[in-house]
C-alpha cells in the first residue's frame, strides 16, 4: 500500500510524509495537501465528474467515522478501490484527535461561515484552513459536488443514524440526495430552515455542494466501535468512489423527516436545561414542558405537538445553541 494511504497514522503522529505525491499502478494520484488532508484524483479517462469531500474528526473523540475514512483511503491506496471520483479526505481537528477529546479550546463546528474571523486559537485557525481546502477542491467548474461530514453524537439516540441538511434561501432540498442517504442507512433527516455555522453549512451555502452532517451513533474511543453498523454507508461510499452507484429511487418511504421548530440558545451562565443528563436525542417532549430557563433572558416552554429534542448540551459557550427543538416534517416541505 502507498504510504500516503496511511493519512490517519501520519496525522496521529503529527508528521509530514516524505513524498507529498504518489501514484498507484492504475494511475490514481494521491496528493498530501497538509495535516489531515489528502486529495485523490482518478485518471482523466475514467473520471466520473464527481467531487466528493469526506470529512471526519471535526470533533476529535468521534472515532468511528475516522476509522471508516481510514479504511476507505487504505483501500484506494492499495488498489482494492479504484476511484473514478475526485476525493478530498479531511481529518478535521488533528490536535483534538491526538488528545482523544471533542476539541482543544472551542467547538470547531461552530466556527465556519467566517465565524472563525472573530475567534482565536487552534480551532479558529483550523476552521479557516478547512474552508480553504474545501474552497480549492470545489473550484473546478461543471462538476457534481458532494460533502459528507461524518460525526458521532455525544449521547445516545432513539434514532441512531441521522443527518442534518443545511439551508440556503431559494434552494430546495433534494429528494434524490435524501433517497441516497436512505439507501446508505440513514434513518432520519433534519431539514434546517436557516443559515448555520457548521462545516457542511459552509460547503452547502458558500461552495454550492450538496452537503450533510451525518450522525452515526455514539462517540467512543478508537477500537471500540464494533457496535456502530456502518456497512450500508461504507457500501454507498465505495459505490460513489468507484462510480458504480445503482440508480436511485427517489421514494422516501421509511425515512423520517424533521424540521427545526426552535433553537435553544444559552445566553448566560445562569442558563439551566431541565432535562436528565442521560436523555437521548429524539426524545419526545409534551406541550407545556419547561425545557430551559436563562434567568437573564428567556424561558423555553414546549408549545409544539410532536416536539423532540436533539443535541441538548448546557455546557456550550454563551451565545451558542444548547439544544434544538424539532418537529415532524413531510416531503411536501422539500420544495
- Active-site residue set: 215
Nearest-CA neighbor of 218 among 264, 165, 162, 179?
162
Q: How many CB atoms lie within 10 A of CB 259?
A: 17
Which of 334, 329, 281 lies closest to 305 in space, CA to CA?
Answer: 329
Angstrom CA distances, 22 to 7, 38, 51, stand at: 13, 11, 19
Q: Is 173 annotated as a binding residue?
A: no
Whether 267 has a binding-site annotation, put simply, is no
- Yes or no: say if 8 and 35 are a contact pair by the CB < 8 Å rule: no
Q: What is the DSSP string of 202-220?
A: HHHHHH--EEEEEEEEE--
Distance CA 38, CA 219 (A): 24
Q: What's the rounded Cα separation, in Å, for the pair 300 and 264?
A: 7
Strand bridging mode 298-301 / 283-284 = unpaired
In a 3-state reduction of DSSP, which class is residue 155?
coil
φ, ψ for residue 163 (rounded to 5)?
-130, 155
- Is residue 151 part of an annotated ligand binding site? yes
Question: At how many degrees (to 10) do helices 231-242 and 175-183 cross?
Answer: 120
Q: Annotated binding site: which residue ranges?
A: 59, 62, 151
Indicate the annotated binding residues for Zn(2+).
59, 62, 151
Amino acid at each position: 500500500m502507498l504510504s500516503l494511504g496511511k493519512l490517519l497514522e501520519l496525522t496521529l503522529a503529527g508528521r509530514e510524509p516524505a513524498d507529498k505525491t504518489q501514484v498507484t499502478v492504475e494511475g490514481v494520484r494521491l496528493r498530501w495537501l497538509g495535516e489531515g488532508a489528502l486529495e485523490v484524483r482518478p485518471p482523466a479517462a475514467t473520471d466520473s465528474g464527481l467531487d466528493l469531500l469526506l470529512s471526519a474528526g471535526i470533533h476529535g473523540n468521534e472515532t468511528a467515522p475516522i476509522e471508516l475514512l481510514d479504511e476507505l483511503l487504505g483501500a484506494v491506496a492499495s488498489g482494492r478501490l479504484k476511484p473514478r471520483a475526485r476525493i478530498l479526505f479531511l481529518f478535521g481537528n488533528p490536535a483534538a484527535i491526538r488528545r482523544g477529546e471533542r476539541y482543544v479550546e472551542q467547538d470547531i463546528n461552530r466556527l465556519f461561515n467566517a465565524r472563525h474571523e472573530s475567534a482565536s486559537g487552534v480551532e479558529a485557525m483550523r476552521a479557516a484552513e478547512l474552508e480553504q481546502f474545501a474552497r480549492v477542491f470545489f473550484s473546478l467548474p461543471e462538476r457534481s459536488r458532494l460533502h459528507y461530514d461524518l460525526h458521532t453524537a455525544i449521547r445516545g439516540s432513539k434514532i441512531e443514524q441521522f443527518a442534518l441538511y443545511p439551508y440556503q434561501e431559494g434552494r430546495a432540498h433534494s429528494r434524490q440526495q435524501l433517497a441516497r442517504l436512505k439507501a446508505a442507512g440513514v434513518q432520519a433527516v433534519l431539514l434546517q430552515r436557516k443559515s448555520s455555522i457548521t462545516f457542511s453549512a459552509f460547503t452547502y451555502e458558500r461552495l454550492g455542494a450538496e452537503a450533510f452532517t451525518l450522525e452515526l451513533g455514539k462517540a467512543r474511543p478508537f477500537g471500540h466501535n464494533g457496535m456502530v453498523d456502518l456497512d450500508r454507508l461504507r457500501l454507498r461510499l465505495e459505490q460513489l468512489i468507484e462510480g458504480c452507484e445503482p440508480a436511485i429511487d427517489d421514494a422516501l418511504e421509511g425515512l423520517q423527516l424533521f424540521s427545526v421548530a426552535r433553537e435553544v440558545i444559552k445566553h448566560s451562565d445562569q442558563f439551566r436545561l431541565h432535562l436528565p443528563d442521560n436523555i437521548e436525542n429524539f426524545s419526545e417532549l409534551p406541550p407545556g414542558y419547561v425545557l430551559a430557563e436563562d434567568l437573564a433572558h428567556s424561558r423555553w416552554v414546549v408549545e409544539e405537538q410532536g416536539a423532540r429534542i436533539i443535541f441538548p448540551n448546557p455546557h456550550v459557550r454563551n451565545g451558542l445553541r444548547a439544544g434544538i427543538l424539532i418537529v415532524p416534517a413531510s416531503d411536501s416541505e422539500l420544495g
